[in-house]
A = this chain, B = another copy of it.
Amino acid sequence: MTSLSEAGRSRATMREVAALAGVSLKTVSRVVNEEAGVSADVRERVTSAVRHLDYRPNLAASNLRRTSARTGLIGALVQDLSNSFSAGLLRALEDTARARRTGVLAASLDEGVDREREMVHDLVTRRVDGLVIMPASARQDYLVAELRTGTPAVFVDRPPRGVDADSVVVDNVTGGRMGTEHLLAQGHRRIAGLFHLTQIVTAQQRLDGFRAAHEARGLRPDPRLVVTDISSTDEAAHVVDQLLALNEPPTAIFAGRNILASGAVRSLAEHGLRRSVALVSFDDFPLADLLDPPLTVVRQDVARIGRTVGEMIFQRIDGDTSPPRHVVIEPTLVVRGSGEIPPPP
């Protein structure tokens, strides 16, 4: 038995294992790395020494000398680890990475531009094999130098600007148009549009789609019904409160983001209008199908996005130097009920 008093002793090195087993450093290395050419007898002595000393190889030290120096680590910078989109994406990425015996070092940017640069620097310093970036910044010129030194990067959700790198994004314009057209097709003509910060390209594109759907029918959205730069559920609820108080309130609402849809639902519920005003949201989320009425959404397939990102980054890690690819994934309309409420006669 090893007693507790030994706790905290310094970690054993390969050299110490060699000394205890009475063999050379190189022999221990052979055993630890399961290389051939070690007699059963010696192997046993080494294994035993490893156990006695609680020896654990030091991956950083190995990689330092190793020729194919991969760290088996990719860095992933997302908007917020805890939101369902980022979390779902990471999960799919993790699954792809696991097959390659690679870990995922993830961090939340919270739309922080400086934080993005700091994190990229830190990750490069750690020599991650690749970077996955859901950028907070508008331009990523700073990345040019990093890519030059050999760290590949794949952008996700938002396209790169100022640097030419792979990307996987959703067709937000089409998504915005699909959701809006769905409401127009049912006869709605006063459709409110709720959008996030328009400086974020995805939000702007969804708004573009909202407008395009109207124009395709020769219509123009009422400017008073289009509200941008809403960044929280509370704000969204407040906005909807005000819209419902108009002389001619909207008969339908298109929410450009799931947290805005939450606010809309709350406001509608407080006014007893959940079954009277139609609602379509961009972004699916857990439980959306259990709302009453169930929420009709434009869904982005997170798992597919994450898988695609994973495949692309590993292709680059494996040495693919072909020109950057830009994958656009089409969203789908999931009809559940809230979006099929007809306009009042």
A residues with a Cβ closer than 8 A to B are 2, 6-12, 54, 56-61, 63-64, 71, 73, 80-84, 87-88, 90-91, 94, 98, 103-108, 121-122, 124-127, 145-150, 262, 265-266, 269, 274, 285-292, 321
Contacts and interface: CB of A to CB of B under 8 A. Distances in A.
A8 B321 contact: yes
A206 B210 CA distance: 47
A107 B73 CA distance: 12
Given A59-B127, A82-B90, A148 B321 contact: no
Given A56-B149, A108-B91, A84 B286 contact: yes
Contact of A12 (B81, B149, B265, B292): B149
Nearest to A10: B150
Given A91-B81, A106-B104, A291-B290, A6 B269 contact: no
B71 A94 contact: no
A87 B94 contact: no
A8 B108 CA distance: 29
Contact of A287 (B9, B59, B291): B291
Contact of A108 (B94, B127, B288, B289): B94
A286 to B, nearest CB: 6
20 contacts: A8-B321, A9-B150, A11-B150, A60-B60, A60-B71, A61-B64, A81-B90, A82-B87, A82-B90, A82-B91, A83-B87, A84-B84, A94-B107, A106-B106, A262-B286, A262-B287, A269-B290, A285-B287, A287-B291, A291-B291
Given A71-B60, A292-B274, A292-B291, A103 B122 contact: yes
Contacts of A286: 84, 262, 285-287
Contacts of A147: 7
Contacts of A59: 125-127
Nearest to A2: B148
A102 to B, nearest CB: 10
Nearest to A97: B107
B57 A125 contact: yes
Given A59-B126, A82-B91, A105-B105, A266 B290 contact: yes
A118 to B, nearest CB: 10
A157 to B, nearest CB: 16
A265 B285 contact: no
A10 B151 CA distance: 11
Contacts of A104: 105-107
Nearest to A53: B149
A61 B61 CA distance: 8
